[in-house]
């Protein structure tokens, strides 16, 4: 029988329950996330689309513990991360979550290797291990020959790949990417998209990517759409079908 496995058998990595986020701006309260409930399985590859201002980045920031929801719970296993203290949160984030932003935020004075090592040093790994892990990740993103270059000596795509290596150096369970190729040309974007899909498949890492790039959105096996702070669409396609779509789009 070639029935797909029932969804119940998969393990949720993170569960968001009735999450709301409000910002107080002057005398006004902006209700930016509204009753978001969402479950991400271990190893899933998910894209999020939606108009500017829909709340995509805010959702990622809350999921990534960079910001706290106003109401609701975010559960990693049995741990509700909205209840952790600031130092507990910082340690949790360092070990569990990798971030890639639209702007790479690399430190200009440091080399590619030093930039990629940074989370490992913050996570108090011995410098030798931090260096080794960063070299392995930079090699995985195709930058073994650029370890000693500073960001100003790298192309836009290379800079973004260093940012991805940095996000992966602690081998996070969850990679959150907010328009990771928003500033890159089409060809370089495709390379970075391929890399993200490869990392998802090879490392079974859960990936959530916010994008305005419809080609990228369509290549993922699960696609979410946000509108005015709500999840309005959450579609899964057969992973093999999504993979075939990716291969088709590469060969054209």
Ligand X SMILES: Nc1ncnc2c1ncn2[C@@H]1O[C@H](COP(=O)(O)OP(=O)(O)OP(=O)(O)O)[C@@H](O)[C@H]1O
For tokens 């410098």, name the residue.
127
- Verify binding: residue 58, Mg ion, rule CB under 5 A: no
# chain residues binding ligand X, by CB under 6 A: 12
**Residue 7 contact, options ligand X, Mg ion, none, Cβ 5-8 Å cut-off depending on partner type:** none
The sign of the dihedral angle between the CA atoms of 68, 72, 78, 84 is positive
Q: Least distance to Mg ion from the beta carbon of 60, Å?
A: 8
- Which two structure tokens, joined as six digits, stand for 37? 């409930």
Tell me which residue of 32, 19, 46, 34 sits closest to 174, measured CA to CA: 46
- Verify binding: residue 54, ligand X, rule CB under 6 A: yes
- Verify binding: residue 211, Mg ion, rule CB under 5 A: no
Q: Least distance to ligand X from the beta carbon of 212, Å?
A: 6
- Verify binding: residue 7, ligand X, rule CB under 6 A: no
- Verify binding: residue 189, Mg ion, rule CB under 5 A: no
Q: Least distance to ligand X from the beta carbon of 124, Å?
A: 31
Degrees to nearest 5, angle at CA 42 with 220 and 88: 120
- Verify binding: residue 135, Mg ion, rule CB under 5 A: no
- Verify binding: residue 25, ligand X, rule CB under 6 A: yes
- Verify binding: residue 135, ligand X, rule CB under 6 A: no
- Verify binding: residue 57, Mg ion, rule CB under 5 A: yes
- Verify binding: residue 102, Mg ion, rule CB under 5 A: no
Q: Least distance to ligand X from the beta carbon of 52, Å?
A: 3
By three-state DSSP, how is residue 220 classified? Answer: coil
Q: Where are the alpha helices (DSSP H) in the chain?
A: 56-63, 86-96, 112-122, 127-140, 156-168, 186-203, 214-219, 239-251
> Which residue number, 56 or 246, has a Cβ lying nearer to Mg ion?
56
- Verify binding: residue 58, ligand X, rule CB under 6 A: yes
H and E: helices and strands count for the chain: 8, 10
- Verify binding: residue 53, ligand X, rule CB under 6 A: yes
For tokens 């490869």, name the residue.
198
Give CA–CA dist 165/233, Å, rounded: 31
> Which residue number, 62 or 242, has a Cβ lying nearer to Mg ion?
62
Q: Where are the alpha helices (DSSP H) in 69-179?
A: 86-96, 112-122, 127-140, 156-168
Residues near ligand X, by CB under 6 A: 23, 25, 30, 32, 50, 52-58
């Amino acid at each position: 029988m070639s029935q797909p496995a029932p969804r119940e058998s998969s393990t949720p990595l993170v569960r968001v329950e009735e999450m709301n986020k409000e910002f107080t701006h002057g005398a006004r309260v902006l209700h930016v996330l509204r009753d978001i409930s969402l479950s991400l399985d271990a190893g899933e590859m998910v894209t999020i689309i939606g108009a500017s201002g829909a709340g995509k980045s805010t959702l990622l920031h809350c999921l990534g513990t960079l910001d706290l929801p106003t109401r609701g719970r975010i559960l990693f296993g049995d741990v509700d991360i909205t209840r952790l203290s600031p130092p507990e949160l910082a340690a949790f984030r360092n070990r569990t979550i990798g971030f890639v932003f639209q702007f790479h935020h690399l430190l200009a004075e440091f080399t590619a290797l030093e930039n990629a090592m940074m989370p490992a040093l913050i996570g108090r790994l011995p410098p030798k291990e931090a260096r080794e892990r960063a070299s392995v990740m930079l090699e995985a993103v195709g930058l073994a020959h650029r370890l000693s270059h500073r960001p100003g000596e790298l192309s836009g795509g290379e800079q973004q790949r260093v940012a991805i290596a940095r996000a992966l150096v602690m081998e996070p369970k969850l990679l959150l990417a907010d328009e990771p190729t928003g500033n890159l040309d089409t060809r370089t974007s495709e390379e970075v998209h391929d890399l993200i899909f490869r990392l998802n498949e090879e490392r079974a890492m859960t990936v959530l990517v916010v994008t305005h790039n419809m080609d990228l959105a369509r290549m993922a096996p699960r696609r979410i759409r946000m509108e005015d702070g709500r999840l309005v669409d959450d579609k899964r396609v057969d992973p093999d079908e999504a993979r075939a779509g990716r291969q088709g789009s590469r060969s054209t």
